[in-house]
Amino acid sequence: MATIDPAALANAQKWLLMHIDSETKAYIEKLKADNIDEFNDSFYQSLEFGTGGLRGVMGIGTNRMNKYNVAMATQGFANYIQANNAGKQCKVVISFDCRNHSREFADITAKVFAANGFKVYLFASLRPTPVLSFAVRELGCDGGVMVTASHNPKEYNGYKAYWSDGGQLVAPHDTNVIAEVNKITDISQVKTQQTNDNITLLHEDFDDIYLRHVMALSLSPQAIQQHHDLKIVYTPLHGTGGQIIPKALRMFGFTNVNPVPEQLEPDGNFPTTASPNPEEHSALDLGLKMAMKLDADILLATDPDADREALAIKDHNNQWILLNGNQTASLITFYLLSQWQKQGKINGKQYIVSTVVSSELIKRIAADFKVKCYEVLTGFKFIADKIHSLEGKEEYIGGGEESYGYLISDFVRDKDSVSACCIIAEIAAWAASNGKTIYDILIEIYQNYGFFHESLLSIVRKGKSGQEEIASIMRKFRENPPTHLLGQRIVKSVDYLNSSATGLPVSNVLQWFLEDGTKISMRPSGTEPKVKFYFGVASVLSDAQSLHCEEQKAESKIQDIQKELSL
């Protein structure tokens, strides 16, 4: 029989003493009486305002996304922004996605900031994360908030916090904001207002400012003119992308853009898919069905806040294949660098950014074009921070990570699927103008730089016990790492908790390299209850016909490694 967790009981009692509404109080008492497991999970801890903000299951409780936790987090964030901008009226901009309660949470956030004397810009309707990041810089704001849980299941919502550079919080602001948020322990400490004083609504005309920057990214306008009728199928998976990406593609010059009608309308219940995560192949089922029906050239999909994109293309047998994030990032990197080189824009001062768990192929491509490739920790805020640190010194071309996120140019400081979708479509047009397809370009990349195959294994462990098990898994491999795998020595082992060895901020990441270049990385997710294992295998691709065989060999090798690690 389940028993009440003492910490959960203490947290619930504190909430019952706060100035919360009677309906919430009644729900807490009923939950404690009727569902002890849910009561414990709702209250055993406070929902952590982590280095990226808040994210959690929606509901009542200290460990849930709700109006009280959003208001208290906002008060702490407001206090920190004001402390860093003494003597001036601070400004923030707020956006929200399609999720249930996103608009409500955005309104609460706006009214707390406004009550604290901020000039607040609030998007009148849902907008993608990259538009929010752009708006922070364009409007000269001191911070920003995006209400979203990105690609998480429908039960989740979240709150991404941004600094004045348009990037998510990094050191020292991340830990300092957390400290300020943790000081807000009662809703009575929160300033709020019922009116819309100091709140300015942003409408669709702001999109045009952002889209003018996106249009300027085009590197092959002649190819688009020649192949403007390329058949593009696009699905926003019920998210914010449907409001802007078809428009952006048409502005880029594409005249045959076909949104998936069943998934075009925003809906926080995501009724046509089990998960709104474009990394999961099943999320693209409806898009693939439409792409096959139309005999499309490419299929594009974006997640609910439209910061990440997925790409599906046809192989030489006219079969649809879904590219992973590393493949798409490699394609974009190769295209950008080849066009920059062709236009004589590379002079040794340019750079791209990748992450420590992304494909080694990206570094090889950059080296061939004599462009620097900086590696950062997982999380796009680190790419944004690298751009910020090199501003005025070196020129950023693009950057990405394996989890389907890419950023072209630097007017946005977070993942941007709007510009990425436009450039991917342009790559398809450019390939067609050379008598090729994107698949042909991918094959050529593998033949020139080596075949790289990556795979991700996620072990999900929910709740308090799951959190403890994830910590135990990481501790086991940190304290007792293998010395060999598949009969090969581990020639390099990196523990990112040791920053002096990596030159990067401390992070709970382990990484091993085998003699043949195989790379294995592991880290707990920062946004979901899972530990992630990344595998990368390299070999040689002699011809296009060998690709399937090489993929099978690489996948078999990865499965053998997983068995040896008892995963």
- Which residues form the catalytic set? 150
Contact 213, 238 (CB under 8 A): no
Gap between the Cα atoms of 246 and 288, Å rounded:
17
Closest residue by Cα to residue 398 from 330, 473, 307? 330
Question: Coil, strand, or helix at residue 301?
Answer: strand
Residue type, 233: V
> E strands of 97-155, at which residues?
119-123, 143-147
Q: Which residues, in sequence order, are bridge partners of residue 488?
A: 485
Neighbours of 485 (CB within 10 A): 18
**SS3 assignment for 350-381:** EEEEEECCCCCHHHHHHHHCCCEEEEECCCHH
Which DSSP string do the residues of 264-281 spell out, in sequence order? Answer: TS--TT-TT-S---TTSG
Contact 373, 362 (CB under 8 A): yes
Eight-class DSSP state of 48: P
Which DSSP string do the residues of 475-516 spell out, in sequence order? Answer: HHHHHS--SEETTEEEEEEEETT-HHHHSS---S-EEEEETT
